[in-house]
Amino acid sequence: MHEIREISLASRLESVDEAAIAADEFGKKVGLPDEFIYAVDLAVRESVANAVKHGNKFDEAKPVEVTFADTGEVFEVTVRDYGSGFNPDDVPDPTDPENLLKANGRGILFMNSFMDSIEWGNADDGGLIVKMTKKRL
């Protein structure tokens, strides 16, 4: 059984909550347990926040597109922005002692911690595509 939901969000902070609510609704619909939904919720929040802030830079003319897909075995979230792309390796390790007291830079760490795998891709027509998966079993 495959379930898919696609949403398009404006590039503003309120969209982070909207994406998380959509993730919760979709997760409940496909029967994910609460702890799984919490993990997905957090990863979705961080990813959409990055897309709004660092990708589209709050340009409301540029959407953030989020797709949730569930195969029954794997849950997948794709977040796409229309910014200038991004290399996650450029982000300093927030757990390095010299970065511990920085206010920002922990979102990707949370995404990596709560999902099983993350693929980062730059779209041919511009923007970043982040695909996050988590096994259900």
Partner 1 sequence: MSDLNISERQAGDVTVLDLNGKVTIGEGSVALRNAIRRLLGEGKNKILLNLASVGYIDSSGIGELVSSFTAVKKEGGTLKLLSLTQKIQDLLAITKLLTVFDTFDDEASALSSFN
Q: List C-alpha distances in Å: 35 to 19, 22, 60, 72, 108.
A: 18, 16, 33, 16, 19
CB of 53 to partner 1, least distance (A): 8
CB of 125 to partner 1, least distance (A): 28
The C-alpha atoms of residue 33 and residue 36 are separated, in whole angstroms, by 5
CB of 114 to partner 1, least distance (A): 9
Binding site for partner 1 (CB under 8 A): 13-14, 16-17, 38, 42, 45-46, 49, 94-95, 100-104, 106-107, 109-110, 113
Beta carbon nearer to partner 1, 9 or 69: 9
CB of 71 to partner 1, least distance (A): 27
Beta carbon nearer to partner 1, 15 or 78: 15
Structural Rg of the chain based on CA atoms: 15
Length of the chain: 137
Beta carbon nearer to partner 1, 49 or 132: 49
Burial of 9 (0-12, 13-18, 19+ CB in 10 A): buried
